[in-house]
Structure 1
């Protein structure tokens, strides 16, 4: 994959959305991994629209359970092990 957008904080979505759209428009293969309180990106309509162009959108299941208890995740739920694999497969990592 070309780019992993690694999202770690609540404000990540406002930067990740335009970046994701730009990557998609240029034909890049990208994924995102959300952890910590970046899981609140699920409430950002602009970000949720942008991930339509992502190959994968994975959320740390532990972070989701802490910050969004009882809610269904719109993202693929995964572990930090999946995060490590995505890091290994990415040509570039953008950490937000």
Structure 2
């Protein structure tokens, strides 16, 4: 890969489609985490229950039109958003 290809790949302006895909993944991951906090997490630090059908990560990805991988890539932003809400 020469310098021009490298610059084009890594320093190009993000496209509208890419930004929208990131927003969908973030919103899906945030909704999933909030759902898990409300329905699955125990207050006394016991391991969480497994999400039921309809509340799994795959289900949220499908509802928001994104992928599980995309949602997982947003975990830091989701954790930061949740910390700022409290």
TM over 0.5: no
Between Structure 1 and Structure 2, the one with more strand by share is 1
Q: Which has the larger radius of gyration?
A: 2
Between Structure 1 and Structure 2, the one with more helix by share is 2
When normalised by structure 1's length, the TM-score is 0.27
